[in-house]
Structure 1
Amino acid sequence: MTNDLTPPVSLRFDEMALAAPILKAIIEVGYETPSPIQAESIPLLLDGHDLLGQAQTGTGKTAAFALPLLSRIDSSQAYPQLLVLAPTRELAIQVAEAMQTYARHLPGFHVLPIYGGQSMGQQLRQLERGVQVVVGTPGRVLDHLGRGTLDLSRLKAVVLDEADEMLRMGFIDDVDEILSHTPPERQVALFSATMPAPIRRIAMRHLHDPVEVKIAAKTSTVEAITQRYWQVRGLHKLDALTRILEVTDFDAMIIFVRTKIVTEELAEKLEARGYEAAALNGDLNQQQRERTIERLKDGKLDIVVATDVAARGLDVPRISHVVNYDIPNDTESYVHRIGRTGRAGRTGEAILFVAPREKRMLYAIEQATRQRIEPMQLPTRNEIVDRRIDQFKRQISETIESQELNFFRELMEAFQNEQALDMEDVAAALAYLVQKDQPLQPEIEDIPPESERRSPERSDRGREREGGRERGGRERFNVSSDREMRRYRIEVGREHGVQPKNIVGAIANEIGLDSNFIGNISIRDHFTLLDLPEGMPADSFTHLKGVRVCGRPLNISLDTGGSPRDYERSERKPYADHRGGRAEGSRERPRSNTEGANYRSAEPRERSDSAPHYERGLGRESSRETYRETSRDTSRDYERGVGRESSRDSNRAIPRETTRDTGRERTERSNDRANERSGGYRERTERTDANRSSNQGAARSERTAKPQEGFAGRDKPKPSGFRDDKPKRSHKGKANTSNSSGDKPPRRKLSLKPTNKK
Structure 2
Amino acid sequence: MSTETPLFSDLHLPEPVLKALVELGYETPSPIQAQCIPLLLDGKDVLGMAQTGTGKTAAFALPLLANIDLKLNKPQVLVLAPTRELAIQVAEAFQAYSRHLPNFHVLPIYGGQNYGLQFKSLKRGPQVVVGTPGRIMDHLSRGTLDLSGLRAMVLDEADEMLRMGFIEDVETIMAETPEERQTALFSATMPDQIKRITKRYMRQPTEIKIKAKTSTVENIEQKAWIVRGANKLDALTRMLETEEFDGVIIFARTKTATVELAEKLEARGYRSSALNGDMNQALRERTVSRLKSGSLDILVATDVAARGLDVERISLVVNYDIPTDTESYVHRIGRTGRAGRQGKAILFVAPRERRLLKAIERATRQPITMMDLPTRSEVTQKRIESFQTEVQKVLEAEKLEFYLELVGQLTNELEISQEDMTAALLYMAQKDKPFQLPEEPVRERFSDRDGRRERGDRAERGDRAPRERGDRRKPEGPLDTYRIEVGREHGVQVKNIVGAIANEGNMNSRFIGDIVLHNDYSTVQLPQNMPADLLKHFQKVYICQQQIRMQKVDEAGTYKPRRRSPKKRDHRKG
TM-score interval, smaller chain: 0.3 to 0.5
More RCO (CA 8 Å, sep 6+): 2
Q: Which has the larger radius of gyration?
A: 1
With structure 1 as the length reference, what TM-score do the two structures score?
0.36
